[in-house]
Structure formats: C-alpha cells, structure tokens
Amino acid sequence: MSFKQPKSPLLTLAMLLLLPAIGSAQCPNVKIVEGEHGDTIVTCANPQITLHADAFITTQHFNGNYLVESIPYDPPEPFTAGIHLPLSIDDVWDSQGGLDIDFPFQFFGVTQTHVFMAANGLVSFNSSITAGQASGYAWDTYYPINPSPSNPSGFPWPNSILGVASDMDPAYIPASESNRRGVFKYSGGEVPCRHITVSWNEVPVFGHSSEQATYNCTHQVVLYEGTNVIEVHVKKHRSYGTASGGTKSAIGIINADGTSAFMAPGRNPFQTPRSEEHTS
C-alpha cells in the first residue's frame, strides 16, 4: 500500500515537451524511448525528442492530503537492514527511543524530526512516547479503526502509521534466531532521495508461542525524503486466533489529534486464515 499526495500537474522538461508527471516515491528519472522518433540526436532537422519522466513531488508541494493506492510488492531494503532493536518484551515501544529523521518529512502537513516504532506494528511521530513505554494490545474494541470508545472524538494511536498494526510478541523469538528476527530500523539513500525503513521480520503472533516458526509476520514501512510518500510492503501476515482481544489487524495512517485517518481498502480490519499469505 502507498500513502501519497494526489498526482502533480504537468511538467516541462528542457523546453522541449510538456509531459504528464507521475508521482514517484524515489528519485525522479528522465529517459529517452529509443526508436520513438527514429534518430534520438537533436538536430535542426530533428529538433525534438520524447522524454518520459517520473516527477519529484517535493516537500514544498505537499498539502497534507493523501491518496491510498495498491502498489507492487517491492520493499527497497531487506527486512533485516539496519539496527536490530532490543524489542524482546510484549506490547512495548522501542527502548532505544526510536530514530531521528535526517531529512524534512511531512506527515499530514507537519514536518517531523523523530519516529518511534513498536513491536505491534506501529510507527509513530507522537512526541509523548517514552522509550520502553507500553503500546497496548487489546485492539479488537477499536476495529474497524474509527473514533474509539475511550476517545469518541478521535481515532486511537494519533500521529501514527499502522503498518501492519497487529498483536505480535517478539518474546517468542528463539534465542538462536534473535539476530535475524524482530524489528529493525534503517536510514538509507543519498540526498535528496533518502529514506527510512522500519521492518518487522518474522515476528511471532501473540498466543502462538509453540507455533512461532509459522505464525509470524513480515512487513516494512518506508518513509521517503522529498515526496513524503509512505509505503507499506507486506510479505507475510498472520492474525492470531485466541479469545482475548487482538485478533484483527489494520493498515492506515492517523493524524496528530486523532480526528482524521486514511485506511487501506479491505485492511480495516482484516484477518488471515492459517494458510494465507498477503503480498501488497
């Protein structure tokens, strides 16, 4: 899934042609389609060539509105890229205190400088979070994601990305696999096309400690410099089936005061049978 601003207007390139621009998450690129006009050399007899471009939606043009789109499954980084977070306790935010964002990134039109991540699939810009703080777990009372019973004027988990919000428990990860399984944070790319990824790699589903080898989730949230695009790539998802809350999951984003949210179609909430894997 991708959360991005609506497509930008037309773009002029090298004073040759007026081209429709496609909003791109990563760096813009311009390419010549060979053979479209025969010789691609610009001469007096052949003064124009056709260029195809992916437009770069800059921070300055972002207005805080979002389009939610399905995208090809193509995570930009391995799910184990970056720093392995010491998240070995159920239902908590990262004890390292998250990650500084080294580039301007706007979330609902507000520039963010720091991001927090939780074991349960949450990424948040909420400055009130403290390292190691409880993140909550019994979310079934909130699904579908609407203003919650405890907060009827707003959505739960304000100023956050749900990608995928699900009741996972990294405490089930065997010690022999603790280096490659769990939650990872990563900063990559080069100016002006940097990105941050938060990845959950084979994190077990709560209530299935004995089945953790198969009942686990793998997905990645990506934040892009310049475009403010948010991507969610889901390789594998399981919703657990015990009786005490947390049997559902959701993908979406919620604004700072919890009064507005954009949820992925068909993912608010969703559950998965034991044999099903999702790639989106």
What is the chain written as a DSSP string? -EEEPPPP--EEETTTEEE--EE-SS--EEEE-TBTTB--S--SSS----EEEEE---GGG--S--EEE------SS-TT-SEEP---STTBB-TT--EEEEEEEEETTEEEEEEEEBTTSEEE--TT--TT-B-----GGGTTTSSBTTBTTS-SSTTEEEEEE--B-GGGS-GGGTTTSEEEEEEE--TTS-EEEEEEEEEEBTT-GGGTTTSEEEEEEEEETTT--EEEEEEE------SSS---BEEEEE-TTSS-EEE-TT-SSB---TT-----
Contact residues for 278 (Cβ-Cβ < 8 A; gap 6+): 234, 236, 237, 272
The pLDDT value recorded for residue 147 is: 63
- Within 10 A of 132 (CB to CB), how many other CB atoms are there? 15
User: In the structure encoding, which two tokens stand for residue 162, read together?
Assistant: 């749900």
Q: Which of 188, 256, 171 is nearest to 222 (CA)?
A: 188
The pLDDT value recorded for residue 13 is: 28
The pLDDT value recorded for residue 65 is: 77
User: In the structure encoding, which two tokens stand for residue 97, read together?
Assistant: 């205190």
Residues of the chain below pLDDT 70: 5-43, 45-64, 132, 136-153, 240-247, 269, 271-280
- Residues 170, 175, 176, 181, Cα dihedral to 10°: 20
The pLDDT value recorded for residue 20 is: 35
